[in-house]
Every structure is written in C-alpha cells, then in structure tokens.
C-alpha cells in the first residue's frame, strides 16, 4: 500500500477489508440465464422417478421453457436476466456467459442475445439446443436456423453452442451447425457427453472449439483426447447432481493435463442454481478437486473459455479490478462451507457492485 501512489485527488473509495479474504471475481462461463417461467412441476415429476430425457421426448423439458420464453417479450427477458444477474453477483460472479436456445425462432433467439448483452452478459448463440415442434426434423430446423438466424446471431453473439445428444443433435448435424457458425466468425462450444458419448470430443478438437461442456459420460479415451488438446473441458457438477447423473471425470482430466473449468449451467431444468461457491463445494467433495483447483477453474480457466484470460480471473496489475471479499478466516471457506454465504462485497470493473451490508441492497434470489 505504501508504494501505491498517485491516487490523491482521484475519485477513490477506501474499502476496509481487514479480516476478510480477497479472491478474484468469479467467472461463470456456462449459464442459460435468459429464460421465462420455471420447471418446478417437472422437478416434482422427476423427484417421483420420471427422467429428464423422458420429459424431453414427451415435449416437456427444454421445449416447455421455449414456450414460456417465446411468450415473454424482449423486455420480460431482459428483466429475467437482470434478476438472475443480481443473484449471481451476490454469490461473487462478476462475469457471466449466457446462452440463447429457448427461442428457437428468429425473433426470440435474437431477443435473447440482445437481452443478455444488455445486462452485461457474454452472449452465446445456442441455436441448436432442441428441434422445435413446428419443424419436421433436425435437418429442416437447421436449414432455417443457419439461413435465417445465423447472419444476425453472428453479429450479436461471441460464440455458438450445440446440444450434441441423443434426442437433440447428432455429430453429423452438430458438425454442420458448428462449421457454418465458424465461417460466420463465432467461437465454438459444445454440450456433449451429458448422457451418452456421441463423438463430441473428437469433433470439438477437429473444429478447434474453445470448450466441450458436461462430460458426465466421457470415458478414458475421451479423457486422453481432450487432455492432448487445448479445448477446455467445462464441468457442471450441479447438473449431474440435479439430474442424479454420474459426476464428470474431473480428476482423470486434470491428472492427464486437460484444461478444466467449472460453471453453474444455471437453467430452469437441469441446474437451478446460480452459485459458483456451491459449484466449488461440489468440485471438492464430488469431483476430487482441491480448493485451489476449483478456484482456478471458475476464475482464470473460465476466463480462457470466454477469450478473456488476458484481463479477467486474476488479482494482478493490468487485469480488471474484479474482487470478491469473503468474511471468512480462510479463502477455502468458499468451497468448504457448503451453502455458506461468505460473499460480503463484490467489486466489478473497479466499482462496488454488491454490498451485503448496504441498506437497500437487492436480496439474493429476488
């Protein structure tokens, strides 16, 4: 502090952080934070034994959120993102990515991307999330999406994403979608190996994707392939927990040398949770990661996924002043205290963005 000169006369706020721990602002590199409605009825059915894939095949699941999202209007979507953004901020997230994919028509997909950007999110076009019922099949839908939506989506989004899975898009269709998106200048990402291994890892590597996300079903060959590449494996332990699926092979990936990030996957169906601290707890208790690995995975490595590793995710000169203060005796309480609420102050881009102790603050989850 003694060497920190040159601030006199500037508009400086002094924050007393004594007794607290400072960590970099958290980076959530995989969310679906733009949606309307909820899936609490489906949650109830799943608790009674129905599976996520069965509900999806019966026209529920993602498609039920599509119906609600199409009806919300752009202002309604923006309000929803703003609400979720506040909950994320209260949990220490200073940068979030969010995907479209609940519109699946031109108007709503583009409205989602605009709403995400307007609320400060990093927008990803998830134009291949599900096949909407008005199309005869996946090929007819992709004909439409690539001709009618991609040109404008490529101007609004930074990346493109696809759900490569049984009942969604297979590897041939995912390739078609991703190759068209790459030609339009978008960074590539994939939802893959969530329920079945469908060739997502080799495809991601071949196409030079930035990340392949989920990986609950990835086996040793996939681990080896991913570890030999610079494609990041984004692990989403809340989704595995929420759907009662096996956890992704985090330890094997890290030990083999893969780049691994952690994210919430926040969405109304498979991961209704905005909290990266909860994700860190799951990483340490279920994925065999250390607290330091978990913190790196939702800061520096997540910044890499978003193409911002040169300015986000570290407390370092030249980086954005995104700082989270924890009222804990040790920063590892972030992961250690499952469900603990230790985030007291969040500084985003150099300004106080959330203060737990300030009167009139917006309560988390409101």
Q: Which residues of the chain form contacts with Fe ion (CB under 5 A)?
A: 265
Region of 147-155, 268-276, 306-314, 350-358 interacting with ligand NIG (CB under 6 A): 268-276
Binding ligand NIG by CB under 6 A: which of 27, 34, 46, 65? 65
- Write down the least CB distance from residue 270 to ligand NIG, Å: 4
Q: Which stretch binds ligand NIG (CB under 6 A): 3-11, 133-141, 263-271, 272-280?
A: 263-271
The DSSP code sequence of 113-168 is: HHHHHHTT-EEEEEEES---TTSSSHHHHHHHIIIIIHHHHHHH-SEEEEEBSTTS
Q: Looking at 15-23, 217-225, 264-272, 301-309, which segment touches ligand NIG (CB under 6 A)?
A: 264-272
| Order of all β-strands in the sheet with 323-326 | 21-24, 323-326, 343-348, 351-355
Shortest distance (Å) from residue 165 CB to ligand NIG: 7
Is residue 239 part of the contact set for ligand NIG (CB under 6 A)? Answer: yes
> Which residues have a Cβ under 8 Å from the Cβ of 231 and sit 6 or more positions away?
201, 204, 205, 208, 209, 210, 211, 212, 259
- Determine the 3-state secondary structure of 184 from DSSP: coil
Q: How far, in Å, are 45, 55, 285 from residue 49 at the CA level?
A: 7, 11, 25
Closest separation in Å from C-beta 328 to ligand NIG: 30
CB atoms closer than 10 angstroms to residue 183: 11
Of 158 and 161, CB closest to ligand NIG: 161
Q: To which residue do tokens 């993102």 refer?
A: 81
Q: Is residue 63 within 8 Å of residue 133, measured between CB atoms?
A: yes
By CB under 6 A, residue 293 contacts ligand NIG: no
Residue 265 is a binding residue for ligand NIG (CB under 6 A): yes
Cβ closer to ligand NIG: 65 or 299? 65
Give, for 262, the enclosing helix (H) or strand (E): strand 260-262
Euclidean distance between CA atoms 198 and 192, whole angstroms: 7
Which residue's CB is nearer to ligand NIG, number 61 or number 199? 61
Count of residues that bind ligand NIG according to CB under 6 A? 13
**Residue 62 is a binding residue for ligand NIG (CB under 6 A):** yes
Interface segment toward ligand NIG; rule CB under 6 A; list 11-19, 74-82, 219-227, 261-269: 261-269
Whose CA is closest to 301, among 211, 192, 185? 211
Select from 173, 191, 210, 342 the one that contacts ligand NIG (CB under 6 A): 191
Interacting residue ranges for ligand NIG, rule: CB under 6 A: 32, 61-62, 65, 163, 191, 194, 239, 265, 267-270
């Amino acid at each position: 502090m003694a060497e920190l000169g040159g601030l006199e006369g500037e508009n400086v706020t002094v924050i007393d952080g004594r007794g607290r721990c400072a960590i970099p602002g958290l980076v959530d590199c995989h969310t679906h934070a733009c949606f309307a409605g909820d899936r609490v009825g489906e949650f109830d059915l799943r608790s009674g034994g129905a599976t996520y894939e069965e509900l999806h095949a019966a026209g529920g699941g993602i498609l039920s959120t599509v119906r609600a999202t199409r009806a919300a209007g752009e202002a309604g979507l923006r309000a929803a993102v703003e609400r979720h953004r506040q909950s994320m901020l209260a949990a220490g997230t200073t940068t979030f990515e969010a995907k479209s994919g609940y519109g699946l028509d031109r108007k709503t997909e583009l409205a989602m991307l605009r709403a995400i950007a307007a609320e400060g999110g990093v927008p990803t076009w998830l134009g291949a999330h599900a096949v909407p019922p008005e199309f005869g099949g996946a090929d007819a839908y992709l004909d439409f999406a690539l001709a009618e939506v991609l040109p404008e989506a490529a101007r609004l989004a930074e990346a493109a994403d696809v759900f490569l899975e049984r009942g969604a898009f297979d590897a041939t269709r995912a390739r078609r979608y991703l190759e068209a998106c790459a030609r339009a200048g978008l960074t590539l990402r994939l939802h893959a190996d969530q329920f079945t291994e469908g060739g997502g890892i080799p495809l991601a590597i071949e196409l030079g994707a930035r990340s392949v996300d989920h990986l609950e079903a990835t086996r040793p060959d996939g681990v080896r392939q991913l570890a030999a590449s610079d494609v990041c494996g984004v692990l989403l332990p809340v989704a595995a927990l929420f759907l009662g699926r096996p956890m992704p092979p985090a330890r094997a990936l890290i030990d083999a040398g893969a780049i691994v990030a952690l994210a919430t996957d926040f969405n109304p169906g498979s991961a209704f949770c905005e909290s990266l601290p909860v994700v860190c707890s799951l990483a340490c208790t279920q994925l065999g990661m250390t607290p330091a690995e978990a913190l790196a995975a939702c800061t520096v490595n997540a910044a890499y996924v978003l193409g911002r590793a040169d300015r986000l995710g570290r407390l370092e000169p030249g980086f954005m002043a995104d700082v989270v203060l924890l009222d804990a005796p040790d920063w590892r309480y972030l992961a250690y205290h499952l469900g603990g609420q230790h985030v007291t102050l969040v500084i985003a881009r150099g300004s106080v963005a959330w203060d737990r102790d300030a009167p009139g603050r917006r309560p988390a989850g409101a």
